[in-house]
Amino acid sequence: MKKHNFYAGPSILPQFTLDETIKAIENFAGTGLSLMEISHRSKEFVAVMDEAVALFKELLSIPEGYSVIFLGGGASLQFAMVPFNLMRSKAAYLNTGEWASKALKEARFFGEVVEVASSKDKMFSYIPKGWTVPEDADYFHITTNNTIYGTEIRQDFDCKVPLVADMSSDIFSRPIDVSKYALIYGGAQKNLAPAGVTFVIIRNDILGKVERPIPTMLKYQTHIDKESMFNTPPCVPVFAALQTLKWLKSKGGVAEMEKINIKKAALLYDEIDRNPLFKGTVATEDRSLMNICFVMEEKYIQFEKEFLDLAAARGLVGLKGHRSVGGFRASTYNALPIESVQALVDAMKEFENMKA
Protein backbone atom coordinates (compact mmCIF):
# COMPACT_ATOMS: atom_id res chain seq x y z
CA MET A 1 0.00 0.00 0.00
CA LYS A 2 1.23 3.49 -0.85
CA LYS A 3 1.96 5.55 2.25
CA HIS A 4 1.01 9.23 2.44
CA ASN A 5 3.40 10.84 4.93
CA PHE A 6 1.97 13.79 6.88
CA TYR A 7 4.47 13.71 9.76
CA ALA A 8 5.54 17.15 11.01
CA GLY A 9 9.21 16.32 11.36
CA PRO A 10 11.28 14.40 10.67
CA SER A 11 9.11 14.44 7.62
CA ILE A 12 8.69 13.42 4.02
CA LEU A 13 11.64 13.87 1.67
CA PRO A 14 11.68 13.78 -2.13
CA GLN A 15 12.18 10.28 -3.50
CA PHE A 16 15.15 11.69 -5.43
CA THR A 17 16.79 12.67 -2.13
CA LEU A 18 16.23 9.22 -0.64
CA ASP A 19 17.53 7.40 -3.73
CA GLU A 20 20.66 9.51 -4.17
CA THR A 21 21.51 9.39 -0.46
CA ILE A 22 21.13 5.60 -0.37
CA LYS A 23 23.50 5.33 -3.34
CA ALA A 24 26.03 7.59 -1.61
CA ILE A 25 25.84 5.62 1.62
CA GLU A 26 26.75 2.53 -0.37
CA ASN A 27 29.36 4.14 -2.66
CA PHE A 28 30.01 7.87 -2.44
CA ALA A 29 31.09 9.66 -5.62
CA GLY A 30 32.72 6.54 -7.04
CA THR A 31 35.21 6.32 -4.18
CA GLY A 32 34.21 2.79 -3.18
CA LEU A 33 33.62 4.15 0.33
CA SER A 34 30.40 5.03 2.09
CA LEU A 35 29.38 8.64 2.60
CA MET A 36 29.23 7.72 6.29
CA GLU A 37 32.92 6.81 6.46
CA ILE A 38 34.73 9.19 4.14
CA SER A 39 36.65 12.22 5.40
CA HIS A 40 34.70 15.46 5.45
CA ARG A 41 37.87 17.09 4.14
CA SER A 42 38.09 14.86 1.10
CA LYS A 43 37.76 16.69 -2.18
CA GLU A 44 34.56 14.75 -2.90
CA PHE A 45 32.79 15.95 0.25
CA VAL A 46 34.16 19.50 0.06
CA ALA A 47 32.51 19.64 -3.37
CA VAL A 48 29.19 18.63 -1.76
CA MET A 49 29.43 21.41 0.80
CA ASP A 50 30.39 24.00 -1.83
CA GLU A 51 27.53 23.01 -4.12
CA ALA A 52 25.01 23.05 -1.26
CA VAL A 53 26.03 26.60 -0.33
CA ALA A 54 25.90 27.69 -3.98
CA LEU A 55 22.40 26.24 -4.49
CA PHE A 56 21.14 27.81 -1.26
CA LYS A 57 22.26 31.18 -2.58
CA GLU A 58 20.86 30.55 -6.05
CA LEU A 59 17.43 29.26 -5.04
CA LEU A 60 16.84 31.99 -2.45
CA SER A 61 18.53 34.76 -4.48
CA ILE A 62 20.77 35.53 -1.50
CA PRO A 63 22.57 38.83 -2.11
CA GLU A 64 26.26 39.56 -1.70
CA GLY A 65 27.45 40.06 1.85
CA TYR A 66 25.73 36.98 3.28
CA SER A 67 27.19 33.65 4.36
CA VAL A 68 25.49 30.24 4.44
CA ILE A 69 26.74 27.79 7.05
CA PHE A 70 25.70 24.31 8.16
CA LEU A 71 25.82 23.50 11.86
CA GLY A 72 24.65 20.88 14.35
CA GLY A 73 22.40 21.32 17.35
CA GLY A 74 19.12 22.02 15.61
CA ALA A 75 17.15 25.26 15.73
CA SER A 76 17.08 24.90 19.52
CA LEU A 77 20.80 25.69 19.72
CA GLN A 78 20.19 28.76 17.56
CA PHE A 79 17.80 30.04 20.24
CA ALA A 80 20.95 30.65 22.30
CA MET A 81 23.49 31.35 19.55
CA VAL A 82 21.46 34.24 18.13
CA PRO A 83 21.45 36.34 21.33
CA PHE A 84 24.96 35.18 22.25
CA ASN A 85 26.29 36.65 18.99
CA LEU A 86 23.90 39.56 18.40
CA MET A 87 22.45 40.92 21.64
CA ARG A 88 24.33 43.76 23.27
CA SER A 89 21.60 44.70 25.75
CA LYS A 90 18.07 44.33 24.35
CA ALA A 91 16.18 42.23 21.82
CA ALA A 92 12.57 42.09 20.65
CA TYR A 93 10.56 38.90 20.04
CA LEU A 94 7.17 38.15 18.48
CA ASN A 95 5.64 35.24 20.37
CA THR A 96 3.53 33.12 18.02
CA GLY A 97 3.91 29.62 19.40
CA GLU A 98 5.87 27.08 21.42
CA TRP A 99 9.13 27.43 19.50
CA ALA A 100 8.96 31.21 19.53
CA SER A 101 8.37 31.02 23.29
CA LYS A 102 11.42 28.80 23.73
CA ALA A 103 13.59 31.15 21.66
CA LEU A 104 12.42 34.07 23.78
CA LYS A 105 13.18 32.19 27.00
CA GLU A 106 16.76 31.47 25.92
CA ALA A 107 17.35 35.09 24.92
CA ARG A 108 16.59 36.24 28.47
CA PHE A 109 19.91 34.72 29.59
CA PHE A 110 21.72 37.43 27.60
CA GLY A 111 19.85 40.66 28.28
CA GLU A 112 16.50 42.41 28.24
CA VAL A 113 13.84 40.84 26.03
CA VAL A 114 10.78 42.76 24.88
CA GLU A 115 7.83 40.62 23.86
CA VAL A 116 6.30 42.96 21.28
CA ALA A 117 3.13 40.85 21.01
CA SER A 118 1.83 37.36 21.73
CA SER A 119 -1.05 35.18 20.60
CA LYS A 120 -0.86 32.95 23.66
CA ASP A 121 -4.17 34.37 24.88
CA LYS A 122 -5.99 32.36 22.20
CA MET A 123 -3.71 29.32 22.18
CA PHE A 124 -1.54 30.75 19.39
CA SER A 125 -4.38 30.54 16.91
CA TYR A 126 -3.50 33.80 15.12
CA ILE A 127 -0.57 36.06 14.21
CA PRO A 128 -0.64 39.27 16.29
CA LYS A 129 -1.10 42.50 14.34
CA GLY A 130 -0.27 46.14 15.02
CA TRP A 131 2.80 45.62 17.19
CA THR A 132 5.78 47.99 17.37
CA VAL A 133 9.43 47.01 17.54
CA PRO A 134 11.59 49.17 19.84
CA GLU A 135 14.08 51.01 17.68
CA ASP A 136 16.83 50.50 20.26
CA ALA A 137 16.54 46.71 20.07
CA ASP A 138 19.64 44.93 18.81
CA TYR A 139 17.43 42.67 16.69
CA PHE A 140 13.82 41.53 16.21
CA HIS A 141 13.12 37.78 16.19
CA ILE A 142 10.19 36.04 14.49
CA THR A 143 9.22 32.41 13.90
CA THR A 144 7.67 32.34 10.45
CA ASN A 145 5.74 29.07 10.68
CA ASN A 146 4.05 27.61 13.73
CA THR A 147 4.28 23.85 13.29
CA ILE A 148 2.26 22.94 16.38
CA TYR A 149 -0.70 25.29 16.04
CA GLY A 150 -0.74 25.91 12.28
CA THR A 151 -0.18 29.62 11.67
CA GLU A 152 2.31 31.20 9.29
CA ILE A 153 3.83 34.60 8.54
CA ARG A 154 3.99 34.73 4.77
CA GLN A 155 5.43 38.22 4.31
CA ASP A 156 8.87 39.74 4.71
CA PHE A 157 8.64 42.56 7.24
CA ASP A 158 10.26 45.94 6.78
CA CYS A 159 12.13 46.46 10.03
CA LYS A 160 14.31 49.29 11.34
CA VAL A 161 16.40 46.87 13.41
CA PRO A 162 18.06 43.65 12.22
CA LEU A 163 15.39 41.03 11.51
CA VAL A 164 16.07 37.42 12.59
CA ALA A 165 13.81 34.55 11.54
CA ASP A 166 13.44 30.91 12.47
CA MET A 167 12.30 29.34 9.17
CA SER A 168 12.72 25.71 10.17
CA SER A 169 9.45 24.52 8.68
CA ASP A 170 8.75 26.79 5.72
CA ILE A 171 12.17 27.48 4.19
CA PHE A 172 12.07 27.02 0.39
CA SER A 173 8.25 26.90 0.41
CA ARG A 174 7.98 30.44 -0.99
CA PRO A 175 10.28 33.14 -2.35
CA ILE A 176 11.71 35.40 0.36
CA ASP A 177 13.48 38.72 0.18
CA VAL A 178 16.62 37.72 2.05
CA SER A 179 17.87 41.32 1.99
CA LYS A 180 15.22 42.19 4.61
CA TYR A 181 16.74 39.73 7.08
CA ALA A 182 19.94 39.90 9.09
CA LEU A 183 19.84 36.21 9.93
CA ILE A 184 17.67 33.22 8.96
CA TYR A 185 18.07 29.81 10.53
CA GLY A 186 16.32 26.49 10.77
CA GLY A 187 16.51 22.81 11.48
CA ALA A 188 16.50 20.89 8.21
CA GLN A 189 14.25 18.00 9.23
CA LYS A 190 10.95 19.59 8.16
CA ASN A 191 11.50 20.70 4.57
CA LEU A 192 15.05 19.95 3.54
CA ALA A 193 16.93 16.96 4.96
CA PRO A 194 17.06 14.36 7.74
CA ALA A 195 17.54 15.61 11.28
CA GLY A 196 21.09 16.51 12.20
CA VAL A 197 21.95 19.63 10.21
CA THR A 198 20.93 23.24 10.80
CA PHE A 199 21.26 25.98 8.20
CA VAL A 200 22.13 29.59 9.00
CA ILE A 201 22.00 32.44 6.49
CA ILE A 202 23.73 35.45 8.03
CA ARG A 203 24.55 38.96 6.90
CA ASN A 204 28.22 39.28 7.67
CA ASP A 205 28.19 42.89 8.86
CA ILE A 206 26.02 42.16 11.91
CA LEU A 207 28.77 40.16 13.61
CA GLY A 208 31.53 41.33 15.93
CA LYS A 209 29.45 43.94 17.75
CA VAL A 210 29.02 42.32 21.16
CA GLU A 211 31.65 42.76 23.86
CA ARG A 212 31.12 39.46 25.66
CA PRO A 213 33.52 36.61 24.94
CA ILE A 214 31.85 33.89 22.87
CA PRO A 215 33.03 30.26 23.09
CA THR A 216 34.65 29.23 19.84
CA MET A 217 32.04 26.63 18.88
CA LEU A 218 29.16 29.05 19.52
CA LYS A 219 30.63 31.89 17.49
CA TYR A 220 29.18 32.33 14.00
CA GLN A 221 32.41 33.81 12.69
CA THR A 222 34.23 30.58 13.53
CA HIS A 223 32.02 28.60 11.17
CA ILE A 224 32.01 31.28 8.46
CA ASP A 225 35.81 31.42 8.48
CA LYS A 226 36.11 27.62 8.33
CA GLU A 227 33.29 27.21 5.76
CA SER A 228 31.27 24.94 8.07
CA MET A 229 34.31 22.70 8.57
CA PHE A 230 35.59 23.88 11.97
CA ASN A 231 34.53 20.50 13.30
CA THR A 232 33.18 17.45 11.51
CA PRO A 233 29.85 18.45 9.94
CA PRO A 234 26.83 16.12 9.77
CA CYS A 235 27.88 14.73 6.40
CA VAL A 236 24.89 12.55 5.54
CA PRO A 237 22.25 15.25 6.28
CA VAL A 238 24.30 17.85 4.35
CA PHE A 239 24.51 15.51 1.35
CA ALA A 240 20.76 14.84 1.58
CA ALA A 241 20.08 18.58 1.76
CA LEU A 242 22.05 19.04 -1.45
CA GLN A 243 19.89 16.43 -3.17
CA THR A 244 16.73 18.23 -2.05
CA LEU A 245 18.13 21.51 -3.36
CA LYS A 246 18.82 19.86 -6.73
CA TRP A 247 15.27 18.48 -6.73
CA LEU A 248 13.87 21.92 -5.94
CA LYS A 249 15.80 23.45 -8.82
CA SER A 250 14.52 20.75 -11.19
CA LYS A 251 10.94 21.59 -10.15
CA GLY A 252 11.34 25.25 -11.08
CA GLY A 253 12.57 26.65 -7.79
CA VAL A 254 10.75 28.21 -4.87
CA ALA A 255 8.34 30.29 -6.97
CA GLU A 256 6.94 27.15 -8.59
CA MET A 257 6.97 25.36 -5.25
CA GLU A 258 4.86 28.12 -3.72
CA LYS A 259 2.22 27.69 -6.45
CA ILE A 260 2.02 23.97 -5.72
CA ASN A 261 1.88 24.55 -1.96
CA ILE A 262 -0.98 27.01 -2.34
CA LYS A 263 -2.93 24.46 -4.39
CA LYS A 264 -2.32 21.69 -1.85
CA ALA A 265 -3.35 23.85 1.09
CA ALA A 266 -6.45 25.17 -0.68
CA LEU A 267 -7.56 21.64 -1.49
CA LEU A 268 -7.43 20.58 2.15
CA TYR A 269 -8.68 23.82 3.74
CA ASP A 270 -11.66 23.83 1.37
CA GLU A 271 -12.61 20.35 2.54
CA ILE A 272 -12.15 21.28 6.21
CA ASP A 273 -14.48 24.25 5.72
CA ARG A 274 -17.04 22.24 3.73
CA ASN A 275 -17.13 19.01 5.71
CA PRO A 276 -19.61 19.17 8.64
CA LEU A 277 -17.46 16.78 10.72
CA PHE A 278 -14.35 18.98 10.80
CA LYS A 279 -13.31 22.53 11.57
CA GLY A 280 -10.12 24.56 11.39
CA THR A 281 -8.41 25.83 14.52
CA VAL A 282 -6.70 29.09 13.48
CA ALA A 283 -7.62 32.46 12.04
CA THR A 284 -8.35 32.06 8.33
CA GLU A 285 -5.99 34.85 7.25
CA ASP A 286 -3.09 33.28 9.19
CA ARG A 287 -3.44 29.66 8.07
CA SER A 288 -0.19 27.86 7.42
CA LEU A 289 0.56 26.29 4.06
CA MET A 290 2.91 23.82 5.74
CA ASN A 291 1.08 22.53 8.84
CA ILE A 292 -2.68 22.33 8.51
CA CYS A 293 -4.37 21.83 11.88
CA PHE A 294 -8.01 20.86 12.35
CA VAL A 295 -10.32 19.07 14.81
CA MET A 296 -13.65 17.29 14.86
CA GLU A 297 -16.74 19.39 15.46
CA GLU A 298 -17.92 18.99 19.06
CA LYS A 299 -20.81 16.67 18.23
CA TYR A 300 -18.40 14.28 16.47
CA ILE A 301 -15.44 14.56 18.85
CA GLN A 302 -15.81 10.96 20.01
CA PHE A 303 -14.94 9.77 16.50
CA GLU A 304 -11.38 11.19 16.40
CA LYS A 305 -9.66 7.85 16.93
CA GLU A 306 -11.99 6.15 14.49
CA PHE A 307 -11.06 8.65 11.80
CA LEU A 308 -7.36 8.17 12.49
CA ASP A 309 -7.86 4.42 12.19
CA LEU A 310 -9.64 4.84 8.86
CA ALA A 311 -6.89 7.17 7.65
CA ALA A 312 -4.22 4.63 8.64
CA ALA A 313 -6.11 1.94 6.75
CA ARG A 314 -5.91 4.17 3.66
CA GLY A 315 -2.14 4.63 4.06
CA LEU A 316 -2.38 8.11 5.62
CA VAL A 317 0.21 8.41 8.41
CA GLY A 318 1.35 11.17 10.76
CA LEU A 319 -2.04 12.89 11.07
CA LYS A 320 -2.39 12.96 14.83
CA GLY A 321 -2.20 16.50 16.20
CA HIS A 322 0.59 17.58 18.54
CA ARG A 323 0.10 16.24 22.07
CA SER A 324 -0.43 19.78 23.42
CA VAL A 325 -3.26 20.50 20.94
CA GLY A 326 -4.92 17.23 19.93
CA GLY A 327 -7.06 16.81 16.84
CA PHE A 328 -5.28 16.44 13.52
CA ARG A 329 -2.30 17.96 11.76
CA ALA A 330 -1.47 17.44 8.10
CA SER A 331 2.02 18.64 7.29
CA THR A 332 2.12 19.44 3.58
CA TYR A 333 5.80 20.17 3.03
CA ASN A 334 7.34 20.62 -0.39
CA ALA A 335 7.96 16.91 -0.97
CA LEU A 336 4.36 15.88 -0.27
CA PRO A 337 2.57 15.33 -3.61
CA ILE A 338 -0.89 16.77 -4.17
CA GLU A 339 -2.11 13.19 -4.64
CA SER A 340 -1.51 12.61 -0.94
CA VAL A 341 -3.62 15.63 -0.04
CA GLN A 342 -6.35 14.35 -2.33
CA ALA A 343 -6.19 10.97 -0.58
CA LEU A 344 -6.74 12.72 2.76
CA VAL A 345 -9.67 14.71 1.37
CA ASP A 346 -11.18 11.50 0.00
CA ALA A 347 -10.86 9.87 3.44
CA MET A 348 -12.57 12.85 5.07
CA LYS A 349 -15.45 12.58 2.59
CA GLU A 350 -15.68 8.86 3.16
CA PHE A 351 -15.87 9.40 6.92
CA GLU A 352 -18.53 12.05 6.43
CA ASN A 353 -20.67 9.56 4.52
CA MET A 354 -20.28 7.12 7.40
CA LYS A 355 -21.15 9.51 10.23
CA ALA A 356 -22.99 12.63 9.09
CB 268 within 8 A of CB 344: yes
Predicted local confidence at residue 184, as pLDDT: 99
Return phi, psi of residue 235, to 5°. Answer: -60, -45
Question: Is 210 a residue whose pLDDT tops 90?
Answer: yes
For residue 355, name the pLDDT band (cuts at 50, 70, 90): confident
CB 201 within 8 A of CB 171: no
CB 156 within 8 A of CB 177: yes
Task: In the chain, list all ranges with CATH 3.40.640.10.
Answer: 15-250
> What are the C-alpha distances in Å from 331 to residues 52, 146, 149, 349?
25, 11, 11, 19
Task: In the chain, list all ranges with CATH 3.90.1150.10.
Answer: 4-11+253-355
Q: How many CB atoms lie within 10 A of CB 64?
A: 7
pLDDT digits (tens, 9 = 90+) for 288-309: 999 999 999 999 999 999 999 9
> What are the C-alpha distances in Å from 168 to residues 10, 84, 185?
11, 20, 7
CB 56 within 8 A of CB 62: yes
Among 171, 130, 125, 132, smallest CA distance to 149 is for 125
224-230 CB contacts, 8 Å cutoff, 24+ apart: 224/67, 224/69, 227/49, 227/53, 227/69, 228/49, 228/53, 228/69, 228/70, 228/71, 229/40, 229/41, 229/46, 229/49
Q: 4-11+253-355 belongs to which CATH class?
A: alpha beta
Return phi, psi of residue 49, to 5°. Answer: -60, -45
Predicted local confidence at residue 304, as pLDDT: 96
Predicted local confidence at residue 323, as pLDDT: 85
Among 167, 182, 96, 168, smallest CA distance to 137 is for 182
pLDDT digits (tens, 9 = 90+) for 316-350: 999 999 988 889 999 999 999 999 999 999 999 99
Catalytic residue check, 166: yes
CB 176 within 8 A of CB 156: yes
Predicted local confidence at residue 265, as pLDDT: 98
pTM of the model: 0.98
Predicted local confidence at residue 78, as pLDDT: 98
pLDDT digits (tens, 9 = 90+) for 261-291: 999 999 999 999 999 999 999 999 999 999 9
Predicted local confidence at residue 342, as pLDDT: 98
pLDDT digits (tens, 9 = 90+) for 217-263: 999 999 999 999 999 999 999 999 999 999 999 999 999 999 999 99
Summary count for the chain: helices (H), strands (E):
9, 14
Catalytic residue check, 286: no
Predicted local confidence at residue 9, as pLDDT: 96
Q: 15-250: which CATH architecture?
A: 3-Layer(aba) Sandwich (3.40)
Catalytic residue check, 190: yes
* Sequence-distant (≥ 6) Cβ neighbours of residue 159 within 8 angstroms: 133, 140, 180
Pick the catalytic residue from 138, 166, 170, 286: 166
Pick the catalytic residue from 102, 136, 156, 190: 190
pLDDT digits (tens, 9 = 90+) for 84-120: 999 999 999 999 999 999 999 999 999 999 999 999 9
Q: What number is the average pLDDT over the span 117-145?
A: 97
Classify the phi-psi angles of 124: left when phi > 0, otherwise alpha if psi is within -120 to 50, otherwise beta. left
pLDDT digits (tens, 9 = 90+) for 42-78: 999 999 999 999 999 999 999 999 999 999 999 999 9
Predicted local confidence at residue 1, as pLDDT: 84
Q: Which residues pair with 267 in a beta bridge?
A: none
